[in-house]
Amino acid sequence: MFQAKEKSLIIVHNTDTKQCAEYLLGLISELPSSGIPINAIVVEAKKFSSYPAEQKSAKQNILYIGSFPESNLAEKNIHQWKFDQNCIRYGWHGNKGVMTFKTISEHSFRELAKFAEKDMERYNLDMQANVGKRGIKPLQRFNELPLIGKIAIGIGALITPFVVAGVGLAAAMGVMIKEKDNLDPKQMKENQQKFAVLHFSLNYLTDFLDINDDNNNEE
């Protein structure tokens, strides 16, 4: 019989990345329908720093988003970053991940928008081919599928909400650079952070949380 293995994730943010952290939490809240429960919470950095040391070193994964004392400390243990371009950097060591940002210029944002468009197009096509082979309509909400369908799709079901959100975000970024000569710094920053979360989730969330096909297809 199928048995899901719950994964725990603490998302730690500062004032500058609060919206980004809550965006990630919102996306993850859609994932239980894939049959892979992820128990995620958002905690402000100053509050998290007051937690007992044993609580921080427990088995749950911790993702620090932004630059603050504890993320800077965790960052020192990361020797090989999974992604480091377009003013975005993220990686992890053990159960502690770090995602940081540099202030993005208009030129860098335009390059990021081009990268996002190509990246999301690739995932969209891959997903359509993957689910199409199983007779399932691309981008169909997975909470409409019976349990057997969710198990059969496995990891593909987990990443689908991120693909859907990513395609929409890439399109919105493309509209921004086509319709505006002077881009708003606040909007650039917001979209930069959202894309970083989506890119991490699509490419590495399963690795970071140690989720694989065995987690999804146990009988």
Domain carrying residue 113: 106-216
pLDDT at 131: 47
> Could you tell me the pTM of the whole model?
0.78
Interval 94-107: pLDDT, tens:
999 999 999 999 99
Asked if 49 and 140 sit in the same domain, the reply is: no
Q: Residue 128: CB partners within 8 Å, gap ≥ 6?
A: 138, 139
Residue where a domain stops, chosen among 49, 82, 101 = 101
pLDDT at 83: 96
- Cα angle 59, 25, 119 (rounded to 5 degrees) comes to 105
pLDDT at 153: 37
What integer is the mean pLDDT of 171-185? 81
pLDDT at 15: 96
What integer is the mean pLDDT of 99-128? 82
Interval 72-89: pLDDT, tens:
999 999 999 999 999 999
Residue where a domain stops, chosen among 101, 118, 142 = 101
24 SS3 class: helix
Buried residues in 165-186 as b, exposed as e (16+ CB within 10 A) = bbbebbeebeebbeeeeebeee
Q: Residue 45: CB partners within 8 Å, gap ≥ 6?
A: 12, 13, 14, 64, 66, 68, 69, 70, 71
**What share of the chain has pLDDT > 70, as a percent?**
73
pLDDT tier, 116 (very low <50, low <70, confident <90, very high otherwise):
confident
Residue where a domain stops, chosen among 101, 125, 149 = 101
Asked if 11 and 80 sit in the same domain, the reply is: yes
Is the per-residue pLDDT at 64 higher than 50? yes
CA dist 206 and 204 (Å) reads 5
